[in-house]
Structure 1
Amino acid sequence: MRLSSVQHVLQRLHDIIASDTGKMLSGSAEAEVKTLLDELDTQSLPSQLGQEFLNREVTILFADLRGFTAMLANQPADTVIRILNPCLVQMSEIIFKYQGSIDKFMGDSIMALFGAPVRRPDDVQRALACAVEMQMTMDTLNLAHRQQGMPELYMGIGINTGEVLAGTLGSNLYNEYTVIGDEVNLAARIEALSLRGQVLISQSTYERCKDFVDTRGPIDIYLKGKPVPVSLRELIGIPSLGLHVPRQEKRRSHRIQVKLPFGYQIIENGIVFPEMRPGTILDLGYHGALLELECQLPIYCEIKLSLDLPIVAYQARDVYAKILNRKPANGIVRMGSEFTSLPPEANMKIQLFVQLLVFAGQS
């Protein structure tokens, strides 16, 4: 993009903004736009697509809607679109607000980049602020859903920072700017480990922003292909910006002690294994349960539960959960879990079951 081209684009932007708002770009805004155009010029497409990829540090954000699969199975298509589209629109607006770029949509998932194609010194901070505001907006959306009698949705977010290859893949018929590399894969796996309403960040991201954020952790997890554990932290908030992840409040609910038999199946790489294993629920709340099992499961293992709720005469199926922690109990395997996805009716019946037992204990 030659100097004359940059000036031409700037003039066109002036004209468009003046026509729409009645005001011209300020001097500082014009300088920022010119810098952006110059940076994009240095990253123009090579003559042969796919042959020129640059190493650069990028912060990658993956966000995925929890409970969407269950909603697809239980809601009409028009209801799904009425819920999904406004959600993705608002998430996109937040990403652009924090000067991120959307790499791609993958169904109910979003991959966003901070540091590509344009680098800025505060890429990590903007990515984290973006993630917190996304979760705050999901909380607001769910409030509207409850008022309209529509199912609630939750989002899990994973963030990683590292060196990737950035460039354009494809041909003259179709091409896209993207990033590839192990750090991208790690970001995706971190997102897969996040619970609903949660933001998990890698150690490399944390090292670049430790004075900027409040976090919980670290949590060491083992991933396939990684010879040593990977440390993750849960992002709680950004005090200097007055931003706080609202998910902590989701964990607060009545909890009841029970002895409720259930069956579960282990999930690996999205595949539900057919073997149904037995267990007992010892403590049940709106959003999770304390499980007694015959064998120990890995932390963050995903399971699918089936259980009967006797007081409300309901068989809860397709209840998905993640193992969060182990509870020492003199050789007995007890593990804390949080529900990650369940049909709306199952959610309602579990809450009703808990409430009835709470009231029975108070009488």
Structure 2
Amino acid sequence: MDKDTTASTPGPSAFDPDEVLQHLDGLVSRDKGSPLSAAARAEMSATLRLAAQTSMAPYAFSLVSRDVTVLWAKLRGGPVTDSQNPDAADLEPLNRCLAKLIEVITRYQGTIDQLSGDAIKVFFGAENPRSDDVQRAVMCAVEMQMAMRDLNMEHMRDRVPQVFMGIGLSTGKALAGRIGSDAFSHFTVMGDLVNLAFRLQAFSLRGQVLISEETYERCWGLVSATAPMQVFVKGYSQPISMRELVAIPTRRLKVPRQEFRRSHRVEVRIPCTYQIVQDGVVLPHVAQAVIRDMGYHGAMLELVEPLDLQGEVRLSFDLTLVQYQARDLYARVVTLKTDTPHPMAGVEFTSTSAEFEARAQMFVQMMVAAG
């Protein structure tokens, strides 16, 4: 049995289940013309008695240890999420998104803990634990992404900017209860898994659902997911394991992922030098550039001197965050932008070492986690 971790303070009296049941029975009779059936009355009585037993915990300002699944979702794109000063007209599509998402969360009986403009935190199992908390959480996540897909189709028809979403879920032990004072209090969950769900959400791409390994272990028979991926997450000394949730086959639910990339890309400003490679020979002239964003497999360079599309270069730069000096790194120019104040060249790494690949992955993941 769960035990309180802090002393409780007196709160309001619990309600009388029998009295509430009688009142509800009367309402049903007046509305439908007949009272509740015996089976419905028994089910309602059991539900009310469970609610009466647990209703005092939120008011007692105590914390109990519970198995909880936390879902963090964050909207991306659109004028509200992209602008620091959105106007009133921008709120209408945002509210349409939130209304759809809240509808899905309510259907799966999740508890909304936080709603802050472009982010939603939901938990399952904190207030009234059930055996299917994890299953409901993952189904909720998939249907939230499906709802966003359908909504974006409407936005396209209405010429409204599309809004996308990334989701992270984690499962484990957490402290659950009401915190605050008699003047204001709030039921919430606290623990490492809350931070982990937030960090997984940060790693997610548009339309993606990422789940922790413990979440997967508790619903592996229900879901289809990728092999585990090791990522560096802020607050953890070692890489943690996560999976991408792909589908729930038995329910015919599939995540409608909207963004397909081989890796994350992070905005940076790293001084860089390069030399042009011509017919397999590295030319002696060294030119300056700045890396403006970077992924596992390539980067975007801000140039001072022009480069040719499909040209090959040898790069040198420092990744001080992971204490690594990249030298003799070869890349090919795959895109060029000339309509910017400085020419921009997208390069794809073509010849790398195993050490560079590991350090670059660590660097990108640490930058994502820090964001």
Is TM > 0.5 for Structure 1 vs Structure 2? Answer: yes
Q: Which residue of structure 2 lines up, in the alignment, with residue 257 of structure 1?
A: none
Equivalent of 1:59, from 55, 69, 77? 69
Secondary structure, counterpart of 1:39 in structure 2: helix
Alignment of 1:326-345 (within 5 A): 329-331=351-353
Q: Contact 1:14–1:25 at 8 Å: present in 2 too? A: yes
Alignment of 1:7-156 (within 5 A): 7-16=18-27, 28-45=39-56, 49-50=60-61, 52-67=62-77, 71-73=81-83, 77-156=87-166
Distance 1:275 1:295, change over 3 A: closer
Q: Is residue 203 from structure 1 mapped to residue 225 from structure 2 by the alignment?
A: no
Deviation track 1:12-50 (CA, whole Å, cap 9, x = no partner) reads 334555666777655555444433333332333369843
Equivalent of 2:337, from 295, 306, 309? 309
Q: Which residue of structure 2 lines up, in the alignment, with residue 235 of structure 1?
A: 245
In structure 2, runs of 5+ residues without a counterpart are 1-11, 273-288, 301-314, 323-334, 343-347, 365-371
Secondary structure, counterpart of 1:38 in structure 2: helix
Secondary structure, counterpart of 2:130 in structure 1: coil
Q: Cα offset for 1:191? A: 1.3
Distance 1:197 1:119, change over 3 A: same
AA partner of residue 222 (structure 2): F
In structure 1, runs of 5+ residues without a counterpart are 253-262, 267-272, 300-306, 317-325, 338-363
Distance 1:20 1:5, change over 3 A: same
Deviation track 1:166-188 (CA, whole Å, cap 9, x = no partner) reads 11111111111111111211111
Q: Contact 1:56–1:164 at 8 Å: present in 2 too? A: yes
Q: TM-score, length-normalised on structure 1?
A: 0.69
Q: Which residue of structure 1 lines up, in the alignment, with residue 326 of structure 2?
A: none
Aligned-partner Cα distance in 2 for 1:56–1:47? 14
Aligned-partner Cα distance in 2 for 1:229–1:199? 19
Q: Which residue of structure 2 lines up, in the alignment, with residue 278 of structure 1?
A: 290
Secondary structure, counterpart of 2:237 in structure 1: coil
Q: Cα offset for 1:139? A: 0.2
Q: Contact 1:265–1:274 at 8 Å: present in 2 too? A: no
Deviation track 1:249-295 (CA, whole Å, cap 9, x = no partner) reads 6439xxxxxxxxxx9843xxxxxx79897249999xxxx99437755
Aligned-partner Cα distance in 2 for 1:80–1:134? 21
AA partner of residue 291 (structure 1): A
Distance 1:48 1:40, change over 3 A: closer
Secondary structure, counterpart of 1:209 in structure 2: coil
Q: Contact 1:62–1:109 at 8 Å: present in 2 too? A: yes
AA partner of residue 97 (structure 1): R
Q: Which residue of structure 2 lines up, in the alignment, with residue 291 of structure 1?
A: 299
Equivalent of 1:216, from 222, 226, 241? 226
Q: Contact 2:13–2:56 at 8 Å: present in 1 too? A: no
Aligned length: 297
Q: Is residue 6 from structure 1 mapped to residue 14 from structure 2 by the alignment?
A: no
Aligned-partner Cα distance in 2 for 1:123–1:111? 15
Please give the root-mean-square deviation of Cα atoms over the aligned residues, in Å: 4.0
Q: Cα offset for 1:225? A: 3.0
Aligned-partner Cα distance in 2 for 1:264–1:161? 28
Aligned-partner Cα distance in 2 for 1:211–1:327? 39
Aligned-partner Cα distance in 2 for 1:265–1:120? 42
Identity of aligned residues (%): 37
Secondary structure, counterpart of 1:210 in structure 2: coil
Secondary structure, counterpart of 1:34 in structure 2: helix
Q: Contact 1:10–1:33 at 8 Å: present in 2 too? A: yes
Distance 1:233 1:77, change over 3 A: same
